[in-house]
Amino acid sequence: MTATDSAPALVTERSIDPLGFEVPSTVPTHWYNLAADLPQPCPPALHPGTREPLGPEDLAPLFPMALIAQEVSTERYVEIPQTVREIYSLWRPAPLIRAHRLERALGTPARIYYKYEGVSPAGSHKPNTAIAQAYYNKLEGVTRLTTETGAGQWGASLSLAGALLGLTVEVWQVRASYDAKPYRRFQMEAYGGVCHSSPSELTEAGRAILAATPDTTGSLGMAISEAVEVAAEDPEAHYSLGSVLNHVLLHQTVIGQEALEQLGDVVPDVIFGCAGGGSNLAGLTFPFLGRNLREGTTTRLVACEPAACPSLTQGEYRYDHGDVAGLTPLLKMHTLGADFVPPPIHAGGLRYHGMAPMVSHAVNLGLMEAVAIDQDTAFRAGVEFARAEGIIPAPESTHAVAAAIAHARAATTDEVVLIGLSGNGVLDLPSYGAYV
């Protein structure tokens, strides 16, 4: 390379090539695939029309083949591409911290640890899969990714991935959030992403909704319809999803792989993770669950969901659609019904009617547990955590914190408790303001 006075394009085709520097060995080399260790296979996704198991060709218009292959893979370990590891190394390994100060504040003999994903540039675990999805799409010649977003965490994370890997990212954001919470949109735009208020005039779906209900506040279901429509019509575009699917959960296992390594000989007695679509929970817990299944360790794994959207604790375990319109494949999952509309809670990332099939399956097999936490209890725990450990947890993460605090208060031994702190609450401070 030579010096230059002109500004070269920031992201070039070369970005897909690894830069070739040595990534620290503490950044995992492989994602972990729970499918390899499950005592029974996870029920497959079904075609919404035929109700037959989906084939790769059904997914090809929306996803690259590499991700479709990961979706059905039963390989135990999937190698993380070097370019993805290089980007991960900008903030990974994410810290695993002993919560000495929280332990003292609670007066508990338990040893509490937390794995903190809020150090990522987007402030949560979401970039772990956004980077990987952008990478595989770029590798197969896709130039444009579309997605939907509610509060904006996922849209910001995919925009970040687009900036780092040279893809155009277009996000349809639920109108109510777009209007009321502009910070995430500014974040998307800083990364070069384009954010539309949904429903928009840019799609048939959007125009139809606007014609019928011009004053609608929008919904994730509408935004999905718009993003999918655009991706399906542009041969150079694909669609990207931030949770629920197997390949998304797979990418998130970088969290648990690191935690296993960081804890060394310390085997957690119980792990608490918040659960919305399930990817953060799975990412942290699946590597530990795999060890339980292979080596007979007995780490308890607890999904912490909001009482206002309790798919695991109150939903049915059955085939259901992922979206309101019924366009997506049928997934076997714990569901409150595709038409369930959760009340507006502050933990926007947990407002999903269903639960990832792989998580639902693990719960159904008795390999994981679930608890529901009400919003006040969650925020109280968030404030308690912040005043002891400094970090203000994301409203989603406070559900795991609340369950862990209740557990630790009742503890009588020095058992090991691990909390999944999926993100920080910096852009959710108005929610804390409303609570405090």
Which residues sit at the interface with a second copy, rule CB under 8 A?
A: 1-5, 7-8, 10-12, 14-15, 19, 21, 86-87, 90-91, 95, 97-98, 100-101, 103-109, 119-121, 123, 127, 160, 163-164, 182-187, 189-192, 383-384, 386-392, 409-412, 425-427, 429-430, 432-433, 436
Q: Based on CB atoms, which residue is closest to a second copy, 205 or 416?
A: 416
* Shortest distance, position 419 Cβ to a second copy, whole Å: 14
Neighbours of 302 (CB within 10 A): 20
Check if the beta carbon of residue 92 is closer than 8 Å to that of residue 31: no
Residue partners of 90: CB distance under 8 A and separation at least 6: 121
* Shortest distance, position 412 Cβ to a second copy, whole Å: 5
Query: If DSSP codes are grouped into helix, strand and coil, which group holds residue 171?
Result: strand
Q: Based on CB atoms, which residue is closest to a second copy, 272 or 432?
A: 432
Q: How far apart are CA 390 and CA 93, in angstroms?
A: 20
- The tokens describing 300, both together, are 């308890």
* Alpha helix (H) residue ranges in 16-152: 56-59, 65-72, 82-88, 100-106, 127-139
Q: How far apart are CA 405 and CA 389, in angstroms?
A: 13
Q: Based on CB atoms, which residue is closest to a second copy, 178 or 288?
A: 178
* Shortest distance, position 70 Cβ to a second copy, whole Å: 23
Q: Based on CB atoms, which residue is closest to a second copy, 114 or 239?
A: 114
Q: Based on CB atoms, which residue is closest to a second copy, 206 or 423?
A: 423
What phi and psi, each to the nearest 5 degrees, are found at residue 155?
Answer: -60, -40
* Shortest distance, position 262 Cβ to a second copy, whole Å: 13
* Shortest distance, position 238 Cβ to a second copy, whole Å: 21
Of 201, 233, 218, residue with least CA distance to 61? 233
Q: Based on CB atoms, which residue is closest to a second copy, 320 or 384?
A: 384
Q: How far apart are CA 347 and CA 378, in angstroms?
A: 10
* Shortest distance, position 53 Cβ to a second copy, whole Å: 38
* Shortest distance, position 117 Cβ to a second copy, whole Å: 12
Check if the beta carbon of residue 98 is closer than 8 Å to that of residue 28: no
Q: Based on CB atoms, which residue is closest to a second copy, 45 or 421?
A: 421
Q: Based on CB atoms, which residue is closest to a second copy, 159 or 311?
A: 159
* Shortest distance, position 282 Cβ to a second copy, whole Å: 24
* Shortest distance, position 81 Cβ to a second copy, whole Å: 15
Check if the beta carbon of residue 252 is closer than 8 Å to that of residue 131: no
Q: In which order are the strands placed within the sheet that holds 369-373?
A: 96-98, 111-116, 416-421, 270-274, 300-306, 369-373
Q: Based on CB atoms, which residue is closest to a second copy, 135 or 286?
A: 135
What phi and psi, each to the nearest 5 degrees, are found at residue 288?
Answer: -75, -35
Q: Is the dihedral of CA 211, 213, 215, 221 positive or negative?
A: negative
ω into residue 95 within 30 of 0, thus cis?
A: no
